[in-house]
Chain A
């Protein structure tokens, strides 16, 4: 099946999206492994997370690079989703959750209590495993967060709406029914809508928690292709169980495992190296399928 490939003919002023030629990633953009070593966007040192007295993550340290797709792989229960939640401070919503360590985003300390969390979440968007469109029309789904962040003029809203729907490849499919309920869309369409909704806020980073696992294979392929096309314009951190998917799209990979009942990072590096020449034996066992 040929995935839909929609490209905006003329870059629109308000969108401020970078075209592929101006991407952050140096060198040719290609599917899968390695390209370059671009600028560090996230710098995480000794991150630990506890739910009450139960540890979930212990001493995670890694760097996330700008414009690349970083895949977090590992079996269930290793704390990958919890790790993702720390990056946009969604852990604030979970009662009894304590985060320690140093997380820096563009040299801003993410754990500071002075931080404007609402604006942070504009820069760091999140896509969940379960598709979560609002029970509103397609148009309202995208407009609501935009209005919330101060963009109120209808003309601007329409421009952004069309731009992001084209970016995710939904425009042709839904342009005639923008005011119908978003819940009537198929699973794949809903997930793409959620991505569009996050893109509308012009984030720098997209956190994706197993975005394809709840979708059928066809929709999954479409969403994966979309994620691929977002590379360079956005920094993407994707949690995935699908090793083949990680091999296909990721530039960098981090392998999580459970040790002493808490999640920890076993190995992190360029994707090609993790899959073809892993340094740790556990990593080798996991990617070969002999463990996990």
Chain B
């Protein structure tokens, strides 16, 4: 058989292997987790260390942590992105300094964020094990992602708008608010979804910052257990917790799948619009 033929065979084989393993994984999770899924599962709180009952309090905690993370990172990220694209020149030292530090931030592993969050938010700022600490730690993690997608979105708005707005004597702020930001909204939202997807999947950063408590939280200062942490706890620390761990995993995957799909379809729609308008 020729080299070309062997190569073709091997490549198709690899593709089949990857597809096979992935489908295996999906099937396993679905088959073991589907049984435990029900409406009751979603609205009841965990009992017996999570072996029975549902994940209502977990969902609430996860939601609150995500809320804190996005509410902190989104405005900060948008402001930074606007500065980097609209108000700094190409070679500005400040601009480059900000971009370099964000690049470094993007590369830090999640457990290190956990260490930092513990040392800074929980201990130094005195927030203790709380959803606030967890959310703020996650905000640090998703900041580079949000900034990156916001800058891309703003950079792809047509420069015509800036020129004609300037020629009409409009301030740059006004051009930003009325023209540039509305045009960049699909990209901004796509980036937001991406950030939510990243934060929702995060576990290591939350273990030492928002803690393990699986009760329904009363306030942001309470410790709360995120869905990913719940899966970890059930599978590693609770004997017989596997079934519920799979159910929780199914819920998490579904949520992330939806978020990521919305994000990529928005990104495609935005690209599509860009091509049409030329």
Contacts and interface: CB of A to CB of B under 8 A. Distances in A.
Touching in the complex, A and B, CB below 8 A? yes
Interface of A: 88, 90, 93, 95, 117-122, 125-126, 128, 130, 132, 134-136, 144-145, 148-149, 183, 194, 197-198, 201
17 contacts: A90-B167, A93-B166, A118-B170, A121-B167, A121-B169, A122-B169, A128-B160, A134-B165, A134-B179, A135-B179, A135-B182, A145-B170, A148-B168, A148-B169, A197-B168, A198-B168, A201-B168
Contacts of A198: 167-168
Contact of A149 (B89, B161, B169): B169
Scoring B89, B90, B168, B174 by chain A CB atoms within 10 A of each residue's CB, the highest score goes to B168
Among all A-B residue pairs, the 8 with the closest Cβ atoms? A121-B169, A126-B167, A145-B168, A132-B164, A132-B160, A118-B169, A122-B169, A148-B170
Interface in B154-188: 160-171, 174, 178-179, 182-183
A117 B166 CA distance: 10
A60 to B, nearest CB: 21
B165 to A, nearest CB: 8
B184 to A, nearest CB: 11
Contacts, number: 62
Given A132-B163, A134-B179, A95 B168 contact: no
B3 interface: no
A105 B57 CA distance: 70
Nearest to B164: A132
Contacts of A135: 161, 179, 182-183, 277
Contacts of A128: 160, 163-164, 167
Contact of A130 (B160, B168, B171, B277): B160
A121 B174 CA distance: 15
A83 to B, nearest CB: 15
Nearest to A88: B167
Where chain A touches its partner, the secondary structure class is: helix
Contacts of A126: 167
Given A95-B89, A134-B179, A135-B183, A194 B164 contact: yes
A122 B165 CA distance: 11
Scoring B90, B166, B169 by chain A CB atoms within 10 A of each residue's CB, the highest score goes to B169
Contacts of A120: 169
Given A148-B171, A148-B174, A201-B169, A95 B90 contact: yes
B273 to A, nearest CB: 10
Where chain B touches its partner, the secondary structure class is: helix
B106 to A, nearest CB: 27
Nearest to B158: A132
A134 B162 contact: no
Contacts of A122: 169
Contacts of B171: 118, 148
Contacts of A183: 277
A132 B179 CA distance: 12
B85 to A, nearest CB: 14
A237 to B, nearest CB: 14
Given A95-B89, A134-B179, A121 B168 contact: yes
Contact of B169 (A93, A119, A132, A134): A119
A120 B165 CA distance: 13
Nearest to A116: B169
Contact of B163 (A90, A118, A145, A197): A90
A105 B174 CA distance: 27
Contact of A134 (B89, B90, B161): B161
Nearest to B168: A145
Contacts of B167: 88, 90, 121, 125-126, 128, 198
Contacts of B162: 93
Contacts of A90: 163, 166-167
A144 B165 CA distance: 9
Contacts of B165: 134
Contacts of B163: 90, 93, 128, 132
A195 to B, nearest CB: 12
B31 to A, nearest CB: 49
A132 B183 CA distance: 14
Interface string B44-65: 0000000000000000000000
A122 B163 CA distance: 14
B138 to A, nearest CB: 35
Given A145-B169, A145-B170, A148-B171, 17 more contacts: A90-B163, A90-B167, A93-B163, A95-B90, A118-B169, A128-B160, A128-B164, A132-B163, A134-B161, A134-B164, A134-B165, A136-B179, A144-B178, A145-B168, A194-B164, A198-B168, A201-B169
Nearest to B179: A134
Nearest to B162: A93
B78 to A, nearest CB: 20
A284 B170 CA distance: 42
A177 to B, nearest CB: 20
